[in-house]
Amino acid sequence: MEELEKIEQEIKEALETAKSKEALEKIRIAYLGRSGKLTAILRSLKDFSVEERRKTGAAANKLRTEIEKVLDEKEKKVIGKEGGRGEDITLLVLPKDKVYFGSLHPLTIVGRDIKKIFTSMNFSVAEGPEAETEYYNFDALNIPANHPAREMWDTFWVKSQTDAKDGKNLLMRTHTSPVQIRFMEKHKPPFAIIAPGRVFRYEATDSSHEINFHQVEGLAVDKKISLANLKFVVEEFFSRFFEEKLSFRFRPSYFPFVEPGVEVDIKLPGEEKWLEVMGAGMVHKRVLEGVRIDSEKWQGFAFGMGVERLAMIKYGIPDIRLFYSGDLRFIKQF
């Protein structure tokens, strides 16, 4: 019993000063471990008389239970302070300024905004492959081989790959317009779709050019569709996207798959500069006929715009290469 009282005193003192997980573990080993002091007493009980065994045994067991309880409690507190993994995770103390709660990539945010606006105007979302055939990327869009218009799109050709169906070469799509063709082959008008996706251009990169970027294509085919419908949808979209009162300019332009073709410019309030944001036009008769849509009965408008460009204008991002830099200082701002 004397020995027990001594041990109790020792442990109490040790527990007072123990401030770390390691220190507490040392105490546990020194007293409760296999060759610990209290364990030794409990083991030696068998040599005592029945009377002594009962008395000392009860006291020793009680002390052991108490020590275990105090050790457990202390440990939880210490673990909370050290930021380790405790049983009670609410004890974890995480310094707020050191914890980075994830955010969305600006292209994700802008992509979602674009989809939301168009779906609210009854457009559906369609998709097509990134590795495309020459037929869908060019021929079906009224851009035959050797036509000078092919030079509008710097192309990555896929080596020694041919599409089994039409024997045409594969390439990385240079725009999302091939999705127009793929969709029209499978659906009867009327319809209105957007087709968001990644596109590829074989060109030198600089602050406004990347070899891969994103576009959103638009296509609406119906009876009596005119440029006026295109103008309304485009102005509605950009006004809602930028949440500003914008000025618009529709400039005549040329794309082989539309006639007439236009380029859309916007001007933000208080700004001097017109910004080119979209190519568009009325779907070319030859494109409609290629997918067996009667161009006497049906008309359509189409448009295509760069997603990075819209994000750059909206957030004042100076360099397109930042989107793919993987630089957290950039991403964390959104």
Cα–Cα dist 327/245, whole Å: 33
Q: Which residue of the chain is nearest ligand PHE when measured via CB?
A: 304
Q: Which is nearer to ligand PHE, 36 or 281 (CB)?
A: 281
Burial class (CB in 10 A: 0-12, 13-18, 19+), 257: buried
Stretch that binds ligand PHE, among 16-24, 220-228, 240-248, 299-307 (CB under 6 A): 299-307
> x/- binding map, residues 236-265, to ligand PHE, per CB under 6 A?
-------------------x--x-------
Structure tokens given for 10: 């020792």
Cα–Cα dist 269/284, whole Å: 34
Task: Compute the least distance from the CB of residue 292 to ligand PHE, in Å.
Answer: 20
| Site for ligand PHE contains 279 (CB under 6 A) | yes
| Site for ligand PHE contains 128 (CB under 6 A) | no
Stretch that binds ligand PHE, among 34-42, 204-212, 227-235, 298-306 (CB under 6 A): 298-306
φ/ψ of residue 93, rounded to 5: -105, 110
Structure tokens given for 264: 């859309």
Yes or no: say if 302 and 180 are a contact pair by the CB < 8 Å rule.
Answer: yes
| Site for ligand PHE contains 197 (CB under 6 A) | no
Task: Compute the least distance from the CB of residue 226 to ligand PHE, in Å.
Answer: 15
- Residue among 175, 182, 201, 309 that touches ligand PHE (CB under 6 A): 175
Cα–Cα dist 135/102, whole Å: 42
| Site for ligand PHE contains 323 (CB under 6 A) | no
- Count CA atoms closer than 13 A to 7's CA, side-chain side: 24
Stretch that binds ligand PHE, among 113-121, 128-136, 205-213, 279-287 (CB under 6 A): 279-287
Q: Crossing angle of helices 106-120/307-315, nearest 10°?
A: 110
Task: Tell me the sheet residues that pair with 132.
Answer: 171
Q: Which residues are catalytic?
A: 153, 175, 201, 215, 258, 302
Chain residues in the site for ligand PHE (CB under 6 A): 175, 177, 255, 258, 279-281, 302-304
